[in-house]
Amino acid sequence: MTNFADYQPDVERQELGTPVEIRPARDEDLDACAALIVTRTGGPAADRRKLLVADLANPDRHTVVACVDGEVIGYAAVIRHQVSPTDPPTTAPSGYYLIGLIVAPEWRRHGIGDLLTQARMRWTATRADHIYYFANLANAPTLDLHVRFGFSEVTRNFTFPKAPLQPGSGVLLRAALT
Could you tell me the pTM of the whole model?
0.87
Q: What are phi and psi of 114, to 5 degrees?
A: -60, -45
pLDDT band at 164 (very low <50, low <70, confident <90, very high): confident
- pLDDT by residue (tens digit) across 97-130? 999 899 999 998 889 999 999 999 999 999 999 9
Q: Across-strand partners of 48?
A: none
Confidence of residue 24 (pLDDT cuts 50, 70, 90): very high
Q: Is the pLDDT of residue 178 over 70?
A: yes
Class of domain 21-176: alpha beta
DSSP-derived 3-state class of residue 118:
helix
Question: What is the 3 state secondary structure string of 125-170?
Answer: HCCCCEEEEEEECCCHHHHHHHHHCCCEEEECCCECCCCCCCCCCE
Question: Would you list the domain boundaries of the chain?
Answer: 21-176
Query: Could you give the 3-state DSSP secondary structure of residue 96?
Result: strand
Q: In whole angstroms, how far apart are CA 11 and each of 23, 66, 82, 87, 108? A: 27, 22, 38, 42, 11
Residue 1's pLDDT is 40
Phi, psi of 98 (to 5 degrees): -75, 135
Q: What is the mean pLDDT of residues 139-143?
A: 88
Distance of alpha carbon 156 from alpha carbon 133, whole angstroms: 12
How far is 20 from 34, CA to CA, in rounded Å? 20
pLDDT (mean) for 151-156: 96
Mean pLDDT of the chain: 90
